């Protein structure tokens, strides 16, 4: 049975997962190996056996390359989380982001995300939105490409 959590709680958990993934992606290739996955799990307080890590890799590695992409990692990590109202919120946000991309916008920052989700009645704070974007921001400019953001949102849906 899936656990139900509020939108802010789910976003906080996603942020933690993003930060852990980034920290343990030691070669910055956007993929984690079984050894890196074991490190992520350990950092989050779960001491998985080698067999458990191997099983997780086998189950979550959809493309069969022997590594987990961020999308595969999030899908595995969040499969038992009931997104509740966040699912509808994300769908609406993605539609709005698609419209913004059609108008030439190809990046989003924390304030833009907050304004978008706040207008949809999410209950998510500006600080949570900024922290989520910061966790995704690989070049430190405070912005995230819409394609990267869509990948995360789609992994949640």
Provide the residue ranges of all domains of the chain, joining segments of one domain with +: 3-81, 84-156
**Same fold across 3-81 and 84-156:** yes
CATH class of the domain defined by 84-156: mainly alpha
Token representation of residue 116: 């978008």
CATH class of the domain defined by 3-81: mainly alpha
> Over the stretch 23-78, which tens digit does the pLDDT of each residue have?
888 888 889 999 999 988 898 898 899 999 999 999 999 999 999 998 899 888 88
> Over the stretch 80-120, which tens digit does the pLDDT of each residue have?
877 766 677 777 777 777 776 666 668 888 888 888 877 77
Instruction: Tell whether pTM > 0.85.
Output: no
Q: Residue 10: which of 89, 69, 66 has the closest Cα?
A: 89
Rounded Cα distance between 118 and 58, Å, is: 38
Rounded Cα distance between 119 and 96, Å, is: 11
pLDDT at 57: 94
Q: Please, where are the H alpha helices in 7-109?
A: 7-24, 34-43, 50-60, 70-78, 85-102
pLDDT at 2: 45
């Amino acid at each position: 049975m899936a656990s139900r959590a509020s939108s802010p709680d789910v976003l906080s958990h996603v942020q933690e997962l993003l930060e852990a993934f980034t920290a343990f992606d030691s070669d910055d290739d956007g993929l984690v190996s079984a050894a890196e996955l074991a490190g992520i799990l350990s950092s989050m307080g779960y001491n998985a056996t080698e067999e458990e890590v191997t099983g997780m890799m086998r189950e979550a590695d959809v493309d069969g390359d022997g590594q987990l992409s961020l999308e595969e990692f999030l899908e595995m990590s969040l499969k038992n989380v009931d997104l509740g109202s966040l699912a509808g919120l994300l769908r609406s946000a993605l539609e709005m982001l698609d419209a913004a991309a059609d108008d030439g916008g190809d990046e989003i920052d924390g304030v833009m995300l907050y304004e978008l989700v706040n207008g949809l009645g999410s209950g998510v704070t500006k600080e949570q939105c900024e922290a989520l974007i910061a966790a995704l921001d690989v070049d430190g400019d405070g912005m995230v490409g819409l394609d990267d953001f869509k990948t995360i949102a789609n992994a949640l849906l």
